[in-house]
Structure 1
Amino acid sequence: MFLTDYFVFSQPLYSIASGLIFLFVFNFLVTTVKRLFLLPPGPWGLPIVGYYPFLKDESYLAFDSLSKKYGPVYCLKLGLHDVVVICDWDHLKLAFADESLLARPYETFFEGLINEPSFIEMSGEPWRAHRRLSLQVLRNVGFGTSKMEDAVSTEIQQFLPTIGKSKVDFIAKILPSVSNNISLLLFGHRFDYSDAFKVELDDNMERVNQAVQFAGLTAFFPWLARIFAIFKLSGMDIIDKCMNAAEDLIQKEIDRHQVKTDMNEIEDYIDGYLVEQKNRHNKDENDEVFNNKVLLRNVTEFFAAGSETVTSTLSWAMMYLIYKPEYQDKIRTEISDVIGFDREPLYVDRNRMPFTMAFLYEAQRIGSVIAVNLLRRAARDTKIGEYNIPQDTVVIFNLWSIHRDPKLWPEPEKFDPNRFLSEDGSKAIKPPYLVPFSGGKRICLGEGLANVELFLYLVNILQKYRVRCDPDVKLSFESVFGVARRPKHLPLLTFEKIASQN
């Protein structure tokens, strides 16, 4: 006796079931044929989930490994998405220049948890309009000017005394200082390090940044995100709780701006956005894209990105300063020759400090804090070299592979600032394939601010302190990978005050 003998099935039910099975098989065959004939080669995965279960936590390493087998451009299935991964410079520079690859996936970074896109997640004209406004407003409030540099320098002078002791958790100290710089641009003011509002905001964003990956679960299985959050699986509950808490805090800043009496005085990004909203409303323009929900998401994304990348890069810099103390001596020699030990460093000093810049470039390369670029989507059919990229294919730029390519970087696992120096050592040379901020029209808007911060924090620290750790500590260069890649075991550091030198 068969199990079906216990049930009575009507003919229409059999027909519906047969039809669904036929559609499933047909769709599977069509997808398979499409992959075989249109898309680049790549590995097979499992039904429904594709190759996702084999990626593990450090997806950039899996992407790099697959490129060794399938070539620098290959395709794999992740959830319902066909995904093309680009792992070499020759094809990446073509992708950077391809207008077809400026779009984002239809899902948000936190699809299933937060469905309103920030402008970083937008495509087409809404993205272009927000990008224009963001650049305009940020420049008006000092972004990319001496005013911004002065603000960063002021913040650093507040920060330096907090590390002048032994056994310092560097990340815990540097994060609230770096996030103060982006706070000034977004909110119009910095915070005391003990401010309860700021402590809570930093803590929530830090927990989100460590829990989420842009090539992770929410990107390819958005329908699972809410379920996983309810049952506290895969860190979805942490992302859900902390992201909502952070946005609640940021909303309070937006509310404070909305009750300002003089909205013609633009002091920060929130002011500029609200003025743009008002102007569009007065012109009877469609302002569905420029709304308060998008403003909240924009500010949240700016705050997170502006804090995380610089913090993580400086963490790698600290690792290599204690691993190779002689690099501290070389940088300090340039400080002595160019700046001295009495005046504060200026960003223009970098032009006469080639080894310092070479050290920072190498920290960016080997740290590769943004190991996987934010996901792209092909807005229309295109080609990268000889490879077809059909419309709506998701595209991943594995920046880790570019920064570890032995054809570009001899002995890529070795930390060697000299690779960025001219033959006589008089100039630091940044090649186009060092891409810590991505590239093309969707390059990170915060690149200018980040470069100023990296130089000024590093030089100010080494002008005042010698960085050490306990000599019994065995250094580990393992990493953790969330939004950004940072050292997994950065030891407690001692910042030993150095005597002024002539």
Structure 2
Amino acid sequence: MLLDHFKSNSTLFNIFCACLTVWLIKHLINFINRLRKLPSGPWGLPIVGYLPFIKKHAYIQMTELAKKYGPVFSFKCGQCDVVVINEVKAIEEAFKNDHLLARPNTTFIPGFKRASSLLEMSGEPWKQQRRVALTILRNVGFGKLTLEEKVKQEINMFIDSLKSANGAAVDFGEVIKLSVANNISILLFGHGFEYTGSVINNIEYFSKFMFMPSIKFFVFLAAQFNSELKKVTSNQKELEEKITVEVIKHKEKKATHEIEDYIDGYLQEMDKQKDSNTSFNMDTLRRNTADFYAAGADTTTLVLNHMMLYLITYPEYQQKIREEIKQTIGFERQPDYEDRTSMPFTMAFIYETLRIATITPLNLHRRSAQDTKVMNYFIPKDSIVIFNFWAVHRDPNLWNDPHLFKPERFLNDDGTKAVKSPNLIPFSGGKRVCPGANFAMTELFLYLVSILQNFQVSAPKGDKISHEVVYAFNRILKKPLKVHFHILSL
């Protein structure tokens, strides 16, 4: 009967109303001030903000909005302020800003409760996990010839599997993902898998829901009835269950004290820190391994898919690369990654594939740990920050004919050297740069050269070559890529 008490005491009721009014005015003023400081951008609806207006290919929409509102713009999306950075100089400045290293406080897969992985962590736990991960991966092979030799062995088996097709059309996406998965498996598990038994799963992140953490419960309920959302969580659970089996095997052989892979190194670090309160635990090990696996296998596979698409679309480039193979390596010796310095057009072809495909057009979302600025644009604390790499890679001020596939743009004037432009940022940058960037480049070069060293590739006769993509965090070719691998007769 609190309301009756207020009614019987008009003075107390008036004081309550005055306090409520002051509180509302204060919060309204704070809201308006925050809004005025933010970069300009499109308006949305109450509560949900601009969320209902985000289109399927959000990166293209963000690029168009930048033309209207400027290179850095913002909008309200659910509970979050979202700041989108579309211009290369602003992105480079943001890479150097330590206040923009944090991740959102929600998981990348909504409604799926789990420990945070290295990709999702912020602050000191992220620094510790990243430092240890880089040390382990470097010790077990990153950047070493021994790892390159293992990749070359895997590529040998891959080439043999293509030869066994006897010229029949092959679903390139299916066979390449199994081979690439084995390379990252060697780093993480210490061994590869049979092509029929790979643990690879495509993990699709539905990042739209990250903007509204309060509806995660409803998203989780929806996942029980929506086949696509259900697939996301089931794939992740299946992958982590298989990783658990691998971890158990590693714990059983731990007595040898030999660090052969990431799991070995992490278990050793857990032992070192078992008496301290750290983020090094079994759940985080599973999460890190799953994310390394998905990121290391999926993205390289998708780039190779696009690379094969451009080889088929522009057969003249096959011949140019093959001429470099003939002059540099020949057709008997397997390529080494160091051969790239003598094969400028081949490297230019890889760079142009990375640019025009832009597999990951928007970064894994960042969060501003405190109020900060980029290029004099104010970014409030806890804003979601998005880098639009697609806008940079298609910026006509940076690239001539940006919508055309032109590897020559990455060659110097006389064509004797491949020049990687600073405007090409396929692996993000700064302290959150992809730790496997060099490994991915090694794979791209070795697979490309090995394929063209052995085959002439083409689409099945009568097939219409499709460049159409679907967008689920990564840009994925919509149609399976059927390819004929004709063994070269030299």
Please name the residue that 2:405 is paired with: 415
Q: Deviations over 1:66-91 (max 9, x none)?
A: 11110000001111010100001111
Question: TM-score, normalization: structure 2?
Answer: 0.93
* Separation in structure 2 between the aligned mates of residue 9 and residue 65 of structure 1, nearest angstrom: 54
Is the 1:313–1:486 Cα contact (8 Å) retained in structure 2?
A: no
2:363 is equivalent to residue 364 of structure 1: no
Distance 1:339 1:476, change over 3 A: same
Show the 5 A alignment for 1:13-412.
Answer: 29-30=28-29, 32-164=31-163, 165-195=167-197, 198=198, 201-202=199-200, 205-206=201-202, 208-209=203-204, 212-213=205-206, 215-217=207-209, 219-231=210-222, 232-233=225-226, 235-262=228-255, 264-281=257-274, 284-287=275-278, 289-412=279-402
| Superposition deviation, residue 27 in structure 1 | 8.6
Q: Which blocks of at least 5 consecutive residues in structure 1 are unaligned?
A: 1-7
Q: What is the alpha-carbon distance in structure 2 between the residues aligned to residue 69 and residue 32 of structure 1?
A: 24
Match of 2:10 in 1: none
1:481 matched to 2:483: no
Post-superposition CA distance 1:368-426 (Å, at most 9, x none): 00110111111122110110112111110011111000001111100000000000000
Deviation at 1:21, TM superposition (A): 10
CA distance in structure 2 between the aligned counterparts of 1:472 and 1:193, rounded to whole angstroms: 29
Render the CA deviation track for 1:249-274: whole Å, top value 9, x for unaligned.
11111111122242521111011011
**Equivalents in 1 of 2:159, 2:133: separation in Å?**
31
- Partner amino acid, structure 1, of 2:404: K
> What amino acid sits opposite 1:78 in the alignment?
C
Secondary structure of the residue that 1:121 maps to in structure 2?
coil
Q: CA deviation at 1:245?
A: 1.5
Inter-partner Cα distance in structure 2 for 1:19 and 1:341: 85
C-alpha distance 354-100 of structure 1, shift in aligned 2 (>3 A): same
CA contact (8 A) 1:76 1:83 kept: yes
Structure 2 distance, partners of 1:21, 1:56, is 39
Question: What do the CA deviations read for 1:2-55 (whole angstroms, capped 9, x no partner)?
Answer: xxxxxx99658999xx99997997698356413432111011111221111111
- CA-based RMSD of the aligned residues comes to 2.3
CA drift at 1:193: 0.8
Shift of 1:102: 1.0
Quote how far apart the aligned CAs of 1:472 are. 1.9
> 2 CA distance for matches of 1:12 and 1:20?
17
* % identity of equivalent residues: 44
Structure 2, unpaired ranges of 5+: 8-12
What SS class does the counterpart of residue 83 from structure 1 fall into? strand
Identify the range of structure 1 (469-478 vs 133-142) with the bigger mean alpha-carbon deviation. 469-478
From 441, 444, 468, the counterpart of 1:451: 441
CA distance in 2, matches of 1:484, 1:21: 47
Measure the CA separation in 2 of the matches of 1:21 and 1:112: 35
Return the alpha-carbon distance in structure 1 between the equivalents of residues 176 and 286 of structure 2.
25
Whole-angstrom CA distance in 2 between matches of 1:13 and 1:322: 79
Tell me whether 491-500 or 407-416 shows the greater mean CA deviation: 491-500
* 1:143 Cα deviation from its structure 2 partner: 1.1
- The answer as to whether partners of 1:473 and 1:491 remain within 8 angstroms in 2 is no
Pairwise CA distance, 1:456: 0.2
- Please say which of residues 222-231 and 65-74 is displaced more in the overlay: 222-231
